[in-house]
Amino acid sequence: MNNENKQYEIGYTQGTYDLFHIGHLNLLENAKKKCKYLIVGVNSDELVLMYKNKKVNITDVDRARIVGALKVVDEVHIVNTLDKNLMYSKFKFDAIFIGDDWKGNERWKNTEKQLGKYGVKVEYLPHTDGISTTILSKKISKNKREDER
Ligand code: CTP
């Protein structure tokens, strides 16, 4: 991807990326269109269990390998926190990307305020409707039940 005329030098985005799907790919591709260097934080298994109260299907090590293998991803880290201030102190990004399904969420409004102090922009990118890890998990369970009949 041509890095000329990109809005940001370093971009950061963070997610779980369990059962990697087209919504994830769209988000990461759109993020890379806006920055020269894209760093992705992959939520650790323990973090997902803590904040979503969910067990992942694919381990963090494997999720990070899959995300890291994409040509739009420059660097990947397994992360243990949702604290974007902490992530900023580590990676010093110019913008942070998230799907626009999170727009208006209290935690993200806070992130906008906190990171705004350092001139970091929160960019909400178009969410891909009709697909999610939750939808896929349900489909897989439904198909399994139907197969067993
Ligand atoms: N995302 C997106 N479009 C989708 C699903 C996710 O743009 N259809 C974005 C989210 O906004 C986030 C990133 O992809 O920026 C990682 O999302 P994640 O929570 O890992 O995936 P979901 O499929 O939303 O997972 P779940 O069903 O567990 O909420």
pLDDT (tens digit per residue) in 11-69: 999 999 999 999 999 999 999 999 999 999 999 999 999 998 989 999 999 999 999 99
Indicate which CATH number applies to the domain containing 39.
Answer: 3.40.50.620
Q: Are 19 and 136 in contact (CB under 8 A)?
A: yes
Question: How much is the pLDDT for 42?
Answer: 98
Q: How far apart are CA 62 and CA 75, in angstroms?
A: 15
What's the sign of the alpha-carbon dihedral 62, 3, 21, 111? positive
Q: How far apart are CA 12 and CA 9, in angstroms?
A: 10
Model confidence band, residue 1 (pLDDT cutoffs 50, 70, 90): low
In total, how many domains does the chain have? Answer: 1
24 within ligand 1 shell (Cβ under 6 A): yes
The pTM of this model reads 0.96
Domain encompassing residue 22: 3-147
Q: Express each pLDDT in 92-101 by its tens digit.
A: 999 999 999 9
* Separation of CA 148 and ligand 1 centre (Å): 30
